[in-house]
Amino acid sequence: MSEYLLEVEHLKQYFQVRSGFFKTVPLKAVDDVSFTIKPGETLGLVGESGCGKTTVGRSILRLYEPTGGTVKFEGKEITKKNIGSFRKEMQMVFQDPYSSLNPRMTVEDIIGEPLDVHNLYANKKERREKILHLMALVGLNAEHATRYAHEFSGGQRQRIGIARALAVNPKFIVCDEPVSALDVSIQAQVINMFEDLRQELGVAYLFIAHDLLVVRHISDRIAVMYLGHVVETAASDELMQHPQHPYTQSLLSAVPIPDPETARKKNRIILEGDVPSPLRMPSGCPFRTRCAYATDKCAEACPELTDRGGGHLCACWNR
């Protein structure tokens, strides 16, 4: 048995985009991404919009068939043929609580659907009891069971989505920006609920987000993505206090500070230029066109993640 719950090795996800008559070019949404997650651990995956975070999560669960690489769950490789046997172990909480719930189904039917698919109850009474237990687990009342999704607020809808994901008692959940569509006050409640569920159920998370403060609060380790590549991985506090990759440093410099005096003294790193198109990726390091430390070597080859000590991995030639 592997010490890791999930092992992602050299994951690639290319989409063919039409560029003319009978001609396509590959859009490299995810390009050679590797990481591991231990049982009960939370790995935060951060990066700006369009860097491939969501595609990583969906490719792991085979919602997209990967172009290359391997994904192992408890030491067993996930393939197109055997993915059905892993569905009960791996679930997903989607970003938009408004579009991820069926408007024609009651809350009871939405949460009960996974139980129906996997035959996880003996009779209707047991099904009802399980659904009410799941609702209580995420802070919903029993009287909500007969209502429809449009009758709830965004935070309540996200709780319904979380209860649905927990219905099959999974060991691993991909949380795809689960709080980005919610008000700040509701975000705190949902994040605290995720932490409580992890302690109570021992579930592991891949927590995808673009808010570094949110990710730091909930994650044991953080992986930073840029243009389909993981450029740095480290323990949460280590990454926040000692970022090594220039892109991570620029992300952290943009985090707002509530104290005006401290904010004025802070050295803000402003990146020049625009994010390159994934259809026309620069040679070598994907960040070199916006990096203040770029050299000729950066254009020749893409750096690999190397250990800088204590499990702090960084992909940079000059840092």
**Euclidean distance between CA atoms 223 and 91, whole angstroms:** 20
The phi, psi pair for 164, rounded to 5°, reads -60, -40
Is the residue at 231 inside a domain? yes
Number of domains in the chain: 1
Confidence class of residue 20 from pLDDT cuts 50, 70 and 90?
confident
From residue 319, how far is each of 48, 172, 263, 302, 304 by CA, in Å?
Answer: 21, 34, 25, 14, 13
State residue 257's pLDDT score.
75
Say if residues 191 and 214 touch (Cβ distance below 8 Å). yes
Q: What is the dihedral of CA 222, 86, 154, 41, to 10 degrees?
A: -30
In the predicted model, what is the mean pLDDT of residues 61-90? 93
> Is residue 115 in some structural domain?
no
CATH of the domain at 298: 3.40.50.300
Amino acid making up residue 4: Y
pLDDT above 90 covers what percent of the chain? 62
Does some domain include residue 118? no
Residue 269 lies in a domain: yes
pLDDT at residue 172 greater than cutoff 80:
yes
Structural domain includes residue 29 = yes
Q: Compare 302 and 272 and report the one with higher pLDDT.
A: 302
Domain of 85, in residue numbers: 6-89+170-314
How much is the average pLDDT of 153-178? 93
Give the amino acid at 215: V
Instruction: Give yes or no for residue 110 having a pLDDT over 70.
Output: yes
Average pLDDT over residues 79-84: 90
Instruction: Give the pLDDT confidence score for residue 146 in this predicted structure.
Output: 94
Backbone angles phi, psi at 113, to 5 degrees: -60, -45
Average pLDDT score over residue span 43-66: 93
Please state the rounded mean pLDDT for residues 99-128.
93
Mean pLDDT in residue range 57-76: 94
Over residues 32-46, the pLDDT tens digits come to 999 999 999 999 999
In the predicted model, what is the mean pLDDT of the chain? 90
Going by pLDDT thresholds of 50, 70 and 90, the confidence category of residue 211 is confident
Burial environment of residue 270 by CB neighbours within 10 A (0 to 12, 13 to 18, 19 or more): exposed
CB contact at 8 A, 283 and 299:
yes
**pLDDT tens digits, 222-239:** 999 999 999 999 999 999
pLDDT digits (tens, 9 = 90+) for 179-194: 887 788 888 888 888 9
pLDDT for position 278: 82
Residue-level pLDDT at 189 = 85
Task: With respect to residue 238, please indicate whether it lies within any of the assigned structural domains.
Answer: yes
Per-residue confidence (pLDDT) for residue 263, from 0 to 100: 64
**214 against 9, higher pLDDT:** 9
Identify whether the C-beta of residue 279 lies closer than 8 Å to the C-beta of residue 18: no
In a domain, 245, yes or no: yes
State the pLDDT confidence band at 212, using cuts at 50, 70 and 90.
Answer: confident
Q: What predicted TM-score, i.e. pTM, was given to this entire model?
A: 0.91
Decide if pLDDT at 1 tops 70: no
Q: Is residue 162 part of a domain?
A: no
Share of the chain above pLDDT 70, in %: 98
